[in-house]
Amino acid sequence: MSGLRRERIEVKSTDQLEAMRVAGLVVAEGLAAMREAAKPGATTADIDRVGREVLASHNATSNFLGYGADYGLPPYPGVACVSVNEVVVHGIPGPRVLQEGDIVSVDYGGIVNGWHGDSASTFEVGEVDSDSHLLVEVTRESMWAGIAKALPGNRVGDISHAVEVSIQSHGRTFGILREYTGHGIGTAMHQPPDVPNYGRPHRGPKIVPGMCLCIEPMVTLGSDDIAELDDEWTVVTIDSSRAAHWENQVAIMPNGLWVLTEPDGGRAKLAELGVPYGGPD
């Protein structure tokens, strides 16, 4: 039935998207600071602490901290998910020490004036092996391939299909998580529609100006089979293969795209992809 259900997708005014950009920039600043902190010897709790400081410095609140309580989960204890190597997503910050050669996915969000920001990056800790580097790059490129399809008139399935095709276009097979998807975002962190990282083109809700979508591929070097640890959060690959996660939050504007969680609004990368930038000059 879900294909027939009319999802109420929140459509924002340009003023509202500008308000949400403030949250997006705070999140971008926090991720940049956490990238600097992701050095050998740092713990995943250290990374989270940096994220807290950036939120506090902007009087932003966390949309991650305490999340899940409404869904019967243990309230999420961090402002970021810090997921190392075989941890795909939702790694709880703690005593784990980053080692040279690790990859660490940091998913982070914040709320400013009621508007939500949400973004993720995978950082390389020192020098990483070539497979890990490829995984990180393939995952990031697939996020942008999806963003490039988030244009008015397309459908959500066009994004999903582009992400999948991009991931599987490198002459080897990667695992793509099925259980977790991208999502709408606005006055809440998770809104309709779901944005899967695989699927058929020309399906799903029509994309219109005023929507804001988080596009967030989660990709592994091995199988897509995952397990959740007893903490009810940490998601690991069953085959212990490494995973990467990239996420950006993109506003659909009448004349193009505005990537709210990129410092330049996505200008440079959209130009490279031949996609119109739709944010302010």
Which CB atom, from 214 or from 252, has the smaller least distance to Co ion?
Answer: 214
- Rounded CA gap, 54 and 260, in Å? 17
Check binding of 159 to Co ion (CB under 5 A). no
Three-state secondary structure string covering the chain: CCCCCCCCCCCCCHHHHHHHHHHHHHHHHHHHHHHHHCCCCCEHHHHHHHHHHHHHHCCCECCCCCCCHHHCCCCCCCCEEEEECCEEECCCCCCCECCCCCEEEEEEEEEECCEEEEEEEEEECCCCCHHHHHHHHHHHHHHHHHHCCCCCCCEHHHHHHHHHHHHCCCCCCCEECCCCCEEECCCCCCEEEEECCCCCCCCCCECCCCCEEEECCEEECCCCCEEECCCCCCEEECCCCCEEECEEEEEEECCEEEECCCCCCCHHHHHHHCCCECCCC
Among the listed residues 214, 236, 244, 259, the single contact to Co ion using CB under 5 A = 214
Check binding of 107 to ligand MF3 (CB under 6 A). yes
Closest approach, Cβ 79 to ligand MF3, in A, equals: 9
Token pair for 17: 């998207």
Check binding of 246 to ligand MF3 (CB under 6 A). no
Check binding of 68 to ligand MF3 (CB under 6 A). yes
Among the listed residues 46, 118, 158, 224, the single contact to Co ion using CB under 5 A = 118
Q: 109 contacts which partner out of ligand MF3, Co ion, none, CB within 5 to 8 A by kind?
A: ligand MF3
Which CB atom, from 9 or from 128, has the smaller least distance to ligand MF3?
Answer: 9
From residue 27 to residue 56, the character string flagging contacts with ligand MF3 as x (rule: CB under 6 A) and all else as - is ------------------------------
Closest approach, Cβ 84 to ligand MF3, in A, equals: 15
Name the segment binding Co ion (CB under 5 A); options: 6-14, 79-87, 214-222, 253-261. 214-222
Name the segment binding Co ion (CB under 5 A); options: 9-17, 122-130, 172-180, 210-218. 210-218
- Rounded CA gap, 41 and 7, in Å? 46
Which CB atom, from 166 or from 248, has the smaller least distance to ligand MF3?
Answer: 248
Among the listed residues 86, 124, 216, 224, the single contact to ligand MF3 using CB under 6 A = 216
Binding site for Co ion (CB under 5 A): 118, 214
Binding site for ligand MF3 (CB under 6 A): 64, 67-68, 76, 81, 90, 107, 109, 118, 183, 214, 216, 247
